[in-house]
Amino acid sequence: MSSRYASQRPRRGHRLVPWSGIVLRLALFMSLLAAASCSTSESSPTATAAPAEAAKDPAAARKLIAAGAVVLDVRTPDEYGFGHLDNASNIPVDQLATRLPEVARLTGADTTRPIVVYCASGRRAAKAKRALDQAGYTNVVNGGDLDDLR
């Protein structure tokens, strides 16, 4: 074997595959290309519709609360214990799907009755709003966080 190929000698137990470097580079390039194509700035209508539906609207929420809307605090019971709106019922967002009968009782089984959801930042309230929308409630507002509604 000439000295030109000495650095390419396979280690003990390994075989030298001449195309492996090219294949690895091609695979890396393809995966980077695929990742870049997934993060384009153009978005589909469904991708923009969900955040817009769940966007917090504290001003509208305060008006609905004043008019008698059902108010759901979707934080944990511990968070609820540290302070909440006087008329709020605590149904943590991760329990919402199993506690929909309780929501129906609070709304008098009226799926058009206004419901205001809030949490600590608005993120869990957005998730709760989407879940209630999917359950057929048509007038759900993300009030954002507790401080937005005080």
**Superfamily covering domain 45-149:** Rhodanese-like domain (3.40.250.10)
**Active site (catalytic) residues:** 119
Task: Tell me the pLDDT of the chain averaged across its residues.
Answer: 82
Name residue, tokens 């539906």: 53
* Distance of alpha carbon 34 from alpha carbon 38, whole angstroms: 6
Which pLDDT tens digit goes with each residue over 87-127? Answer: 999 999 999 999 999 999 999 999 999 999 999 999 999 99
Amino acid type, 80: Y
* Distance of alpha carbon 8 from alpha carbon 6, whole angstroms: 5
The domains of the chain are located at 3-38, 45-149
What percentage of residues in the chain have a pLDDT greater than 70? 65
Which pLDDT tens digit goes with each residue over 28-70? Answer: 666 666 666 554 444 444 444 445 557 899 999 999 999 999 9
